[in-house]
Amino acid sequence: MVGQEKDKKSEDQCALCNATANSRCGGCSKVSYCTKEHQKKHWKIHKGECCAWKVCESTSLGRYLTAVRDIKAGEVILRERPILLTPPKVTPAICLGCYREFNTDPEEQVQREYVEPRPCPKCGWPMCQNDECINSPEHAAECAIAEARGGAVIRDFNVDHPVYRSIGILRVLGLKDRHPDKYQKLLNLQSHSEKQRLEDAKAADSSSLHSNAAALGRFGGEYPEQRSEIERDKVVTVKVVRGFFQRKDVDEDTILNLISIIETNGHEIPIPNARGHINRRLIGVYNNTSFLEHNCKPNCVKTFDMADKAIVIRSAVPIKKGTNLSISYVDPLWGTNDRCNFLQMTKYFTCKCTRCRDPTELGAHVSSLRCQSLKCCEKTGLESLVIPEDPFAPEKDWVCIACKETYPVGYVSSIVNKIGKDMDELHEKFGDIPAIEEFVKKSSKFLSPFHFYLLEMKVELAQLYGRTPDEPILALAPRKLLRKIQLCEELLIVLNKIYPGYNRLRGIITYELQAAVCTLSKMKFAAGEIPLDKHLDELMQCGKWMTEVIKVLGWEPENSIEKQRADGAAQDLQLLKSMVLSIQGDQNEGAQPSTSMDDMDNSPDRESFIEEVF
């Protein structure tokens, strides 16, 4: 109470001179000022602490971030450089400066951007020919430790090297030696064991909720790495660090804890090459970002800045003051079982967000099946779907929301497994539109239209139509353009339910949608099938979508496919703009202005639309 009083008083006083204040900082709402001048003067001091969130702590959630003011969609909320950068756990030999793989075949080097290895003169670890890599600040940590040990030697470049698993720990020890403040920050982050403890305290009954239901998901319970393997690797890393590298100053528990901290908080950074292909990945650990909550319907999105490997967190939707900020650690298009199993396996916690608790997954029905009862056959859409009775009780029956017919969980998993196998076969015929359409048609008899299998295939189809070499978009038949539009619209409806606001996937689908609508509109107008005002309306709508695409995909890293789309959309928007202006120009020169054209010119809607788009 006393604390609150004090807070209130200080908010009403100018942060610089203590005089009565009458305006707050627009960035954080945390400090007030008497005048604009004092705000300007104080900025040097306030800059470092001005942000739209604060770190809170509770016994059930641990630390988390809360909005301290209303946040608009698309704002940069947080941008920070990593405390630690490390190669992924499983990697063949790579340069520890630029993370490129080695290969001595000159042809492969050009094709896949491999580099030729040479030993670092100081530590012997293989590096590329670039001196910058050998002298990079990141390599300095393992370089010094390996040099003190008498050097590291790697001979076989084409197999995964377990010794690379210790790089993360060696780099942490480098921080301990040279940047104790950063080392302390890292140690302060949560590890699995801590998360698990909080989870257990929160709900004793929920720790193994989804483990029995693994068979209901995409991966059938088979994950690339099982927990026992992970544990074994940790022990090997301890031996390498304490034995081979002679760092006896850190005990086993500290190393195990540090491995957990990197696993729990690490973000994978995909690095696109010049052609947009991802052939290098890094793990970055960030300080404040680590306090962001996970949510299967997140309100924030992350991107990376390749220049300094900073993570950039933006609001995906408008966020009200006092709301917790969240990102998703899993693909939001996965069904509840896959999401929960993956989170359990990799991040060691059970998600109990509103989407996970809702058997309909917020009405998106990403895991639901179609009812096979005769009574229900007539119904279409989302009316007769089969959902789990209780998403947290995997042994319980599933039930039709319309006729209440029950389905044993064994039936559900047999359907999901069967269709999963069909889909694996389909993946082998990549890009085969008729085969994918056939799969969609066949499995739609058993699955909700937004089931995770169908979503995956519909996302692929939406991008395939009009993008194959033999059928570019301008050569696409109107029937296929309509199908592309239908797919995009369907996907945007689901995204609004489970992955709302600005995000990469929405950007990609919107890009495909505007391309199809624009092409079809031009086609129909040229054939005299739609009047001029409808054509103009559709072009305006496309302009609006393009603006969104340019914004959202423009956040993605340089060279990435998404960034290339954003740049393409920016050019298309210029073309569209001149096209609309020239149509409007022709229209104004028309001798006999018709009433409908008068209406159009006077329409305030249209005026503001043009402003907004262009």
- Per CB under 5 A, 285 contacts Zn ion: no
- Per CB under 5 A, 302 contacts Zn ion: no
Interface with Zn ion by CB under 5 A: which range of 13-21, 83-91, 166-174, 211-219? Answer: 13-21
Interface with Zn ion by CB under 5 A: which range of 184-192, 203-211, 378-386, 578-586? Answer: 378-386
> Phi/psi zone of residue 363: left (φ > 0), alpha (ψ -120 to 50 degrees), beta?
left
Find out whether 327 and 313 touch, Cβ atoms under 8 Å: yes
| Residues of this chain, 390-449, that bind Zn ion according to CB under 5 A | 400, 402-403, 405
DSSP code per residue over 62-131: EEEEEESS-B-TT-EEEEE--SEEE--SS-BSB-TTT-PBB---HHHHHHH--B--EE-TTT--EE-S-H
Among 67, 238, 241, 296, binds Zn ion (CB under 5 A): 296
Question: Using CA atoms, how far apart are residues 31 and 9, in angstroms rounded to an integer?
Answer: 11
State the minimum distance, in angstroms, from the CB of residue 86 to Zn ion.
Answer: 15
- Per CB under 5 A, 17 contacts Zn ion: yes
- Per CB under 5 A, 97 contacts Zn ion: yes
State the minimum distance, in angstroms, from the CB of residue 128 to Zn ion.
Answer: 3
Tokens of 64: 């988390």
Q: Kindly tell me which of 106 and 151 has the beta carbon lying closer to Zn ion.
A: 151
Interface with Zn ion by CB under 5 A: which range of 43-51, 181-189, 253-261, 270-278? Answer: 43-51
Among 67, 94, 143, 369, binds Zn ion (CB under 5 A): 143
Tokens of 500: 């709302």
| Residues of this chain, 332-351, that bind Zn ion according to CB under 5 A | 351
* Secondary structure element (H or E) that encloses residue 55, with its range: strand 53-58
State the minimum distance, in angstroms, from the CB of residue 271 to Zn ion.
Answer: 12
State the minimum distance, in angstroms, from the CB of residue 129 to Zn ion.
Answer: 8
Among 331, 332, 328, 302, residue whose Cα is nearest residue 315: 302
Q: Kindly tell me which of 94 and 546 has the beta carbon lying closer to Zn ion.
A: 94
- Per CB under 5 A, 532 contacts Zn ion: no
Q: Kindly tell me which of 25 and 473 has the beta carbon lying closer to Zn ion.
A: 25
Among 264, 332, 293, residue whose Cα is nearest residue 60: 293
Among 273, 304, 268, 278, residue whose Cα is nearest residue 559: 273
Which residues are CB-neighbours of 111 under 8 A, at least 6 positions away? none
- Tell me the β-bridge partners of 467: 472
Q: Kindly tell me which of 146 and 517 has the beta carbon lying closer to Zn ion.
A: 146
Q: What is the identity of the amino acid at 90? A: V
Which residues are CB-neighbours of 406 under 8 A, at least 6 positions away? 389, 397, 398, 399, 400
Among 94, 189, 369, 371, binds Zn ion (CB under 5 A): 371
- Per CB under 5 A, 387 contacts Zn ion: no
Q: Kindly tell me which of 24 and 563 has the beta carbon lying closer to Zn ion.
A: 24
Which residues are CB-neighbours of 161 under 8 A, at least 6 positions away? 91, 92, 93, 154
Among 84, 163, 238, 353, binds Zn ion (CB under 5 A): 353
The number of CA neighbours under 13 Å toward the Cβ of 112 is 11
State the minimum distance, in angstroms, from the CB of residue 46 to Zn ion.
Answer: 6
- Per CB under 5 A, 491 contacts Zn ion: no
Tokens of 33: 């000022």
Q: What is the dihedral of CA 241, 246, 247, 249, to 10 degrees?
A: 140
- Per CB under 5 A, 122 contacts Zn ion: yes
Interface with Zn ion by CB under 5 A: which range of 112-120, 448-456, 522-530, 575-583? Answer: 112-120
Interface with Zn ion by CB under 5 A: which range of 166-174, 266-274, 375-383, 493-501? Answer: 375-383
Residue ranges binding Zn ion (CB under 5 A): 14, 16-17, 19, 25, 27-28, 34, 38, 50, 95, 97-98, 120, 122-123, 128, 130, 133, 143, 296, 351, 353, 356, 371, 373, 376, 384, 400, 402-403, 405
